[in-house]
Amino acid sequence: MKAMTLPPFLRHVPWAMLVPLTALVLFGGAVLHSAAGGSMSPYAWSHLIRFAVFLVMAFAISLAPRELVLKGAYPAYGLILLLLVLVEIVGKVGGGSQRWLDLGFIRLQPSELMKPTIVLALAYFYGLLPPGMVGSWRALAGPAVLIGLPVGLVLLQPDLGTGLAITFGGIVVLFLAGLPLWWFLGGAAAAVVAAPLAYFFALHDYQRNRVLTFLDPESDPLGTGYHITQSKIAIGSGGVFGKGFGNGTQSHLDYLPEPHTDFVFATMAEEWGLVGGIFTLLVFGIILAWGRNVSRAAPDRFSRLLAGGMTATIFFYVAINLMMVMGLAPVVGIPLPFMSHGGTSMMTNLICLGTLMMVDRWTRKGSSQGI
């Protein structure tokens, strides 16, 4: 009965996800406060303000009608692809590589927007694909082009991390769309064969170094292995309960690189210990589980794939970042959602969450209609 008193647009707010999320963002703010040497500026305030702004945006997205989304899927994909090409051209003309377009009021990074957009486009594609054709070559050819174009453009920038994220999001949609399992196994096998080739012929020197360092961080403790080593020292020295808020030495004395962006988790773990780490993992677990539930409950194929893909995209961010700071993955510049300082990451992740909320709304509307 109480829910009835809420204004209509708040009635279906998924509090079970939103409350832990807000707690995580506030926690992130506290960590950023410490990373700035005990000050709300320059990181913590802007972190919180961005969250507020993009959360409003997420609510706005969640109100979008299904027909509009369906109609807009391909045009949106086309637009972002165009922007990617534009970035490439501007970069060439400017005489150097760049990843963003300066629109005056915001530095737009189209490759980031591509992460949710690829999921949208692929979900739309499979939503239209007749179920009988799922095992045919057509089920793969179109999506391969849809994925290949943006990934190719992003790799040209070059931005391996984002390229991988887009690929991962796309493949997860393909997987959920029910494509034959052996295609994936075959693809995985091909990747295993191709990886060494890519390592020697496609990667840049700095990327190759990062892979080498990941395999043996102690080989170069003052060079490229420095990041991983210092991050592990920060996490390891925190222990179970951490050194206490504001007492982290690794971050405050500049031993930890990027303590407010890519390595924010290490900054947190040094001061809050294993307890803080488990809390962070739990909140991400709640958000992702909520996303999966939304996906499973979705009324149709398009919405299911859309929700599943968005959840996977968030998961990819979290998993790669945490594996990186704990020395389980090479250093790729991927921030931790909702904790790292950075507007683009916040925006992308809240677009994903907004889309999930949108699907959630569709589901409720459908079921209430159905009753």
Partner 1 sequence: MAIDKSPNANALKQTFDRRMFVLGAVQGGVGLLLAARMGYIAVGENEKYQMEAESNRVNLTLIPPRRGWILDRHGSPLASNRADFRVDIIPDRLDDADREITLLASLLRLDDVAVADLRQRVDEAQGFQAVQVAAGVSLDDYAAVSLRAPELPGVVPQRGYSRYYPTGPAVGHLIGYVGAASREEYEVEPVPLLVTPGFKLGKDGLEKQFEQVLRGQPGARRAEVTARGRVVRDLETREDVQGNSLRLTIDGPLQDYAARRLGLESGSVVVMDCQSGDLLCMSSMPSFDPNSFSEGIGRVEYQMLSQDERVPLRNKVLGGLYPPGSTLKPMAGMALLEAGVDPQETVVCGGGYRLGNRVFRCLGRHGPMTLHTAIAKSCNTYFYSMAHKHGYEIIADMARTLGLGEKYDLPVASQSYGTVPDAAWKLRRFEQEWTNSDSLNSVIGQGYVLANPLQLAVMASCIASGKRIRPRLVLGQGPEPGTFGYDPAHFEIVRQGMWEVVNGAGTAVRSKLPFDDITMGGKTGTAQVRGLSSGARGGAGVPWKYRDHGLFVFFAPVDRPRYAGAVVIEHGVGGSRSAAPVAKDVLTYLFDPQKGMDALHALEASWGGTAQERLASTYAAYASAAAGVRVAPETAMPVTGLRRVDAESRLPASPAEGAEPTEGADRSGGAA
Q: Which residues bind partner 1 (CB under 8 A)?
A: 131-132, 134, 172, 175-178, 230, 232-240, 249-250, 253-255, 269-270, 273-274, 277-278, 281, 284-285, 288-289, 292, 295-296, 299-301, 304-305, 308, 312, 315, 319, 322-323, 326-328, 366
Q: Tell which phi-psi region holds residue 242, choosing left (phi > 0), alpha (psi between -120 and 50) or beta.
A: left
Nearer to partner 1, 152 or 246 (CB): 246
φ, ψ at 237 (rounded to 5°)? -75, -15
In one letter, which amino acid is 178? G
Q: How far is the CB of 370 from partner 1 (least distance, A)?
A: 8
Counting every residue written for the chain, the total comes to 371
Greatest Cα pair distance, the chain, in angstroms, is 65
Residue 285 corresponds to which tokens in the numbers above? 């677990």
Q: How far is the CB of 334 from partner 1 (least distance, A)?
A: 14
Query: Cα(281)–Cα(294) distance, rounded to whole angstroms?
Result: 20
Q: How far is the CB of 328 from partner 1 (least distance, A)?
A: 6
Nearer to partner 1, 128 or 144 (CB): 128
Residue 205 corresponds to which tokens in the numbers above? 């020197």
> How far from the centroid of its chain's Cα atoms is residue 263's Cα?
15
Nearer to partner 1, 86 or 133 (CB): 133
Residue 98 corresponds to which tokens in the numbers above? 């760049």
Nearer to partner 1, 209 or 237 (CB): 237
Q: How far is the CB of 329 from partner 1 (least distance, A)?
A: 11
Nearer to partner 1, 162 or 250 (CB): 250
Residues with Cβ within 8 Å of 165's Cβ and at least 6 positions away in sequence, in order, are 115, 313, 316, 317, 320, 334
Q: How far is the CB of 293 from partner 1 (least distance, A)?
A: 10
Binning the chain into helix, strand and coil, the percentages to the nearest 5 are 75, 0, 25
Q: How far is the CB of 40 from partner 1 (least distance, A)?
A: 22
Nearer to partner 1, 122 or 312 (CB): 312
